[in-house]
């Protein structure tokens, strides 16, 4: 593994290319997340350039995460001239700030043209890396992207701000427990699901190429009934891609660890070892990029859409989130009662946070693609709830004096540091249906979609948990008398108030929808509705109080994300109309013409036995043709209307088209079918 991290300007490279005192200063800056000493910036820039040039780089770019959810880069050559001679240069200024302008990225009103300039600012906590392409290589410098007035135009800045909020709140809370100050880290392990299909099929599907999902396609006879794909033997062609992806990722210092087949045919998963959340989010963006590129080199297409195939499992991105203090995971139910008291406090804070702000969490996963996935086959519903498992739930019930009390002899249970019984360790059973599940020593937020950046969901988890930590700290700081008694009564109060968010049952069932409604949990099925919570005064107040988003920044997110939602649906509608008009209708017309001519022949020849079936086939095709024509007319006018009416018209059109797919001669159907895309690779 000597090549792990070889394309990253990490600690080893810094030590190799910088004088020791400068390397120490830089590493300390990164560790403490302090601003860079301007005195060393020049040395750091030259070292980074020398390192990159030694590895074949000719260009550098500030690499950032604009609000469109992608990554952005604008390359500049190191080339400069000194006394008429060409040299390779990277100045301190070019390392630290960039002015990519980049005025075409969505800003949601944060930039009017007179102040259109956008700035990028180096984020030293995410190391620079080299991207290779053909014969060239580019040094990528991770940066934050903001407007002239300092407002965030990206996904990284709020994440870094939310990190600060949760770090401060954690230190405060731990101080209440009498612990000395230690380092706090927020960790994230991001499991990425994706589909791989043959690229020839992909290129013949204008819907996949333009929207990432199939807007037509009849279900194949074989889907996942046999459950023969999950964890099954990985096909050689796919394994080749996986290994090449991993080697590229390792070179970039991305700790890809696990690979396996997923539940749906042609669906796979890649999971890395968890890392600092900011780094994990950057790394996941690179994971998606490398997956796409390597698949393409192998003649396949990697689909990262949340729902490429209707009726088949969608793809998500599980965000495994945890927080540690002085290197100790606070979500580890501990070996000793002191640690258990902290664990239960953190658990109470998280339940409080998720229950209070389920709507904010939901909003961070509200995209057009994810709308197809949430609540559909094998994906968590749009209702946010927390899975804890029976044993932990029983502990909480006993603290509240509820039902679980009997089972766990709650009368004896006190939170007092010496009286708390050991908690079940690693006793959480698995529940794949929960959007926010406790899994041994971390929470797994499973609602995020496969194609989205994890920065928004992680920002929100950090923020709402910080708020709950602060509230608990405030209460405990003000408590008089015995600490354990105060803690016990506070935990009881919080668990009692928020246990409605705990749900250990089947999140896929209809009963849960009714039960959740009875419990008063929000169920926002529709992304636009879900996003609207960014406009509520309480949410604006919460986000501004912690400086994570100011009012204008939050409003801009609402605007950008809802506009993106509407445009995506309009594009899907237009693509469906195009495919129907130029591919499907002509195919059905031809099929009708040949059925009609066969019918005429049968009648002319007096072959009565054939006339009846040929007539009914021609009639079915004729009906289909007329259905398709009226559905396309309806879709055409719906395209001027709301997303809902576009979606309604697309569904009606798809119904007829998919019926026709099952009638038209296979060789004449103009689009690769589900059974081909999902099973032939």
Which residues bind to ligand ADP, rule: CB under 6 A?
A: 187-189, 191, 258, 271-274, 320-322, 329, 439, 441-442
Nearest CB to ligand ADP, comparing residues 317 and 499? 317
Minimum separation from the CB atom of position 185 to ligand ADP (A): 9
Look at residue 681 and give the partner it binds from Mg ion, ligand ADP, none, a contact being a CB closer than 5 to 8 Å depending on partner kind. Answer: none
Out of 251, 318, 568, 617, which residue is the one contacting Mg ion (CB under 5 A)? 318
Q: Which residues pair with 60 in a beta bridge?
A: 76, 139
Residue 168-197 contact track with Mg ion, rule CB under 5 A, x = bound = -----------------------x------
Q: Please state, in angstroms and rounded to a whole number, the distance separating the CA atoms of residues 228 and 231.
A: 8
229 binds, among Mg ion, ligand ADP, none (CB under 5 to 8 A by kind): none
Count of residues interacting with Mg ion (CB under 5 A):
2
Place of tokens 């509240």: 400
- When the beta carbons of 275 and 661 are compared against ligand ADP, the nearer one is 275
> What's the burial of 106, exposed, middle or buried (CB within 10 Å: 0-12/13-18/19+)?
buried
What tokens does 254 get? 């991305």
Judged by beta carbon, residue 273 or residue 680, the one nearer ligand ADP is 273
Q: How far is the CB of 412 from ligand ADP (least distance, A)?
A: 31
| CA pair distance 196, 244, nearest whole angstrom | 14
Q: Which of 274, 580, 669, 244 is nearest to 439 (CA)?
A: 274
Q: Select the binding partner of residue 246 from ligand ADP, Mg ion, none (C-beta < 5 to 8 A, by kind).
A: none
* Closest CB 318 distance from Mg ion, rounded Å: 4
Name which of 130 and 281 has its Cβ closer to ligand ADP. 281
| DSSP states along 565-588 | HHHHHHHHHHHHHHHIIIIIHHHH
Please, what is the minimum distance in Å from the beta carbon of residue 152 to ligand ADP?
A: 25
Which partner from the list ligand ADP, Mg ion, none does 274 bind, CB cut-off 5 to 8 Å by kind? ligand ADP
Q: How far is the CB of 129 from ligand ADP (least distance, A)?
A: 20
Select the binding partner of residue 441 from ligand ADP, Mg ion, none (C-beta < 5 to 8 A, by kind). Answer: ligand ADP
Q: Between 304 and 576, name the residue whose CB sits nearer to ligand ADP.
A: 304
307 binds, among Mg ion, ligand ADP, none (CB under 5 to 8 A by kind): none
Nearest residue (CB) to ligand ADP, 211 versus 433: 433
Shortest separation between residue 383's beta carbon and ligand ADP, angstroms: 21
Q: Which two tokens stand for residue 609?
A: 């036995």
- Which partner from the list ligand ADP, Mg ion, none does 271 bind, CB cut-off 5 to 8 Å by kind? ligand ADP
| Cβ at position 361, least distance to Mg ion in Å | 17
Separation of alpha carbons 366 and 272, rounded Å: 25
Contact 122, 96 (CB under 8 A): yes
Count CA atoms within 13 Å of residue 48 on its CB side.
Answer: 30
Closest CB 194 distance from Mg ion, rounded Å: 14
365: which 2 tokens? 């996963």
What's the closest the beta carbon of residue 444 comes to Mg ion, in angstroms?
A: 5
- Whichever of 281 and 653 has its CB closer to Mg ion, that residue is 281
Closest approach of Cβ 356 to Mg ion, in Å? Answer: 25
Report which secondary-structure segment, H or E, holds 271. Answer: strand 267-272
Which CB sits closer to Mg ion, 437 or 585? 437
Judged by CB, which is closer to Mg ion: 170, or 451?
451
Total residues belonging to the chain? 681
Segment contacting Mg ion by CB under 5 A, of 99-107, 238-246, 288-296, 317-325: 317-325
Residue 436 Cβ, how far from ligand ADP at the closest point, in Å?
Answer: 13
Q: How far is the CB of 27 from ligand ADP (least distance, A)?
A: 23
Question: Mapping DSSP to helix (H, G, I), strand (E, B) and coil, where does residue 311 land?
Answer: coil
Residue 305 DSSP SS3: coil
Measured from the CB atom, is 318 or 362 closer to Mg ion?
Answer: 318
Instruction: Give the Å distances, CA to CA, from 11 to 45, 255, 327, 406.
Output: 15, 16, 19, 54
Pair 487, 343: CB distance under 8 Å: no
Of residues 143 and 434, the one with the C-beta less far from ligand ADP: 434
Tokens coding 486: 């105060």
Which CB, 188 or 208, lies closer to Mg ion? 188
Torsional sign, CA 160, 161, 165, 171? positive
| Crossing angle of the two packed helices 537-545 and 455-478, in degrees rounded to 10 | 80
The DSSP 8-state label assigned to residue 434 in this structure reads -
- To which H or E segment does residue 443 belong? strand 443-445
The nearest distance, CB 290 to ligand ADP, in angstroms, is 17
Residue nearest to ligand ADP (CB): 189
Residue closer to ligand ADP (CB basis): 66 or 380: 380
Q: What are phi and psi of 199, to 5 degrees?
A: -65, -30
Closest to ligand ADP by CB, 191 or 591: 191
Residue 1, beta-bridge partner list: none
Place of tokens 């906590």: 125
End-to-end Cα separation, the chain, in angstroms: 30
User: Rounded distance, CA 217 to CA 579, Å?
Assistant: 12
CA dist., res. 634 & res. 649, Å (int) = 6
Q: What is the DSSP string of 167-205?
A: HHHHHHHHHHTTPPP--EEEEEEEEEEEEEEEHHHHHT-
**Alpha helices in 479-536, H assignment, sequence order:** 483-498, 510-519, 527-531
Rounded to whole angstroms, the Cα distance separating 120 from 154 reads 10
- Residue 559 interacts, among ligand ADP, Mg ion, none and using kind-specific CB cut-offs from 5 to 8 Å, with none
Q: Which residue is nearest to Mg ion (CB)?
A: 318
User: CA–CA separation, 392 vs 413, rounded Å?
Assistant: 14
Question: Exposed e or buried b for every residue in 120-130, given b needs 16+ CB within 10 A?
Answer: bbbbbbbbbbb
> Which range, of 104-112, 142-150, 223-231, 310-318, touches Mg ion by CB under 5 A?
310-318
CB of 192 to ligand ADP, least distance (A): 10
329 binds, among Mg ion, ligand ADP, none (CB under 5 to 8 A by kind): ligand ADP
Judged by beta carbon distances under 5 to 8 A according to partner kind, the member of Mg ion, ligand ADP, none in contact with residue 278 is: none
Instruction: Give the footprint of Mg ion on this chain (CB under 5 A).
Output: 191, 318
């Amino acid at each position: 593994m000597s090549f792990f991290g070889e394309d990253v300007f990490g600690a080893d490279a810094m030590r190799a290319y910088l004088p020791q005192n400068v390397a120490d200063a830089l590493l300390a800056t990164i560790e403490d997340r302090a601003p860079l000493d301007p005195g060393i910036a020049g040395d750091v820039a030259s070292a980074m350039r020398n390192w990159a040039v030694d590895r074949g780089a000719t260009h550098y770019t500030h690499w950032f995460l604009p609000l469109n959810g992608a990554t952005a880069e604008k390359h500049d050559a190191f080339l400069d001239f000194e006394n008429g001679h060409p040299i390779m240069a990277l100045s301190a200024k070019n390392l630290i700030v960039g002015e990519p302008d980049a005025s075409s990225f969505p800003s949601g009103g944060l930039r009017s043209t007179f102040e259109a300039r956008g700035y990028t600012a180096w984020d030293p906590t995410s190391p620079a890396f080299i991207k290779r392409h053909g014969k060239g290589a580019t040094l990528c410098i991770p940066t934050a992207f903001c407007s002239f007035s300092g407002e965030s135009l990206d996904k990284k800045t709020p994440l870094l701000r939310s990190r600060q909020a949760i770090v401060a709140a954690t230190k405060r809370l731990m101080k209440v427990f009498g612990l000395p100050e230690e380092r706090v880290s927020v960790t994230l392990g991001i499991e990425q699901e994706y589909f791989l299909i043959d690229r020839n099929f992909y290129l013949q599907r204008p819907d996949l190429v333009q929207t990432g999902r199939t807007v037509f396609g009849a279900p194949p006879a074989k889907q996942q009934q046999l459950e023969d794909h999950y964890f099954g033997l990985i096909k050689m062609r796919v394994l080749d891609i996986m290994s090449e992806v991993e080697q590229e990722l390792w070179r970039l210092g991305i700790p890809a660890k696990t690979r396996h087949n997923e539940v749906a045919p042609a669906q796979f998963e890649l999971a890395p070892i968890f890392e600092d959340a900011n780094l994990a989010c950057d790394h996941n963006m690179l994971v998606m990029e490398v997956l796409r590129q390597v698949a393409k080199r192998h003649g396949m297409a990697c689909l990262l859409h949340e729902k490429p195939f209707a009726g088949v499992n969608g793809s998500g991105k599980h965000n495994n989130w945890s927080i540690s203090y002085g290197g100790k995971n606070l979500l580890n139910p501990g070996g000793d009662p002191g640690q258990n008291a902290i664990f239960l406090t953190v658990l109470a804070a998280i339940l409080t946070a998720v229950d209070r702000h389920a709507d904010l969490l939901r909003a961070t996963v509200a995209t057009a693609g994810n709308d197809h996935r949430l609540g559909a086959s094998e994906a968590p519903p749009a209702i946010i709830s927390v899975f804890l498992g029976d044993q932990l739930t029983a502990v909480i019930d006993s603290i509240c004096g509820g039902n679980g009390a009997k089972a766990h002899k709650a009368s004896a249970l006190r939170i007092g540091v010496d009286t708390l019984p050991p908690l079940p360790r690693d006793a959480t059973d698995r529940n794949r249906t929960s959007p926010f599940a406790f899994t041994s020593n971390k929470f797994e937020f499973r609602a995020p979609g496969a194609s989205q950046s994890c920065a928004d969901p992680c920002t929100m988890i950090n923020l709402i948990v910080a708020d709950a930590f602060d509230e608990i700290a405030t209460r405990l700081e003000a408590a008089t008398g015995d600490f354990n008694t105060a803690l016990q009564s506070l935990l009881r109060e919080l668990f009692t108030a928020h246990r409605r968010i705990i749900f250990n049952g089947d999140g896929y069932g209809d009963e849960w929808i009714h039960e959740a409604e009875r419990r008063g949990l929000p169920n926002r099925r529709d992304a636009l509705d879900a996003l609207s919570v960014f406009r509520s005064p309480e949410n604006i107040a919460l986000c501004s109080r912690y400086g994570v988003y100011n009012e204008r920044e939050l409003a801009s997110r609402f605007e950008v994300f809802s506009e993106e939602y509407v445009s995506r649906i309009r594009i899907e509608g237009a693509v469906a109309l195009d495919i129907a008009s130029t591919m499907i209708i002509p195919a059905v017309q031809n099929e009708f013409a040949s059925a009609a001519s066969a019918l005429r022949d049968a009648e002319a020849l007096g072959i009565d036995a054939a006339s009846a079936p040929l007539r009914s086939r021609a009639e079915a095709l004729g009906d289909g043709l007329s259905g398709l024509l009226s559905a396309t007319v309806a879709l055409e006018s719906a395209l001027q209307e709301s997303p809902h009416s576009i979606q309604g018209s697309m569904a009606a059109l798809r119904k007829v088209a998919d019926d026709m797919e099952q009638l038209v001669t296979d060789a004449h159907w103009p689009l690769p079918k589900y059974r081909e895309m999902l099973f032939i690779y």
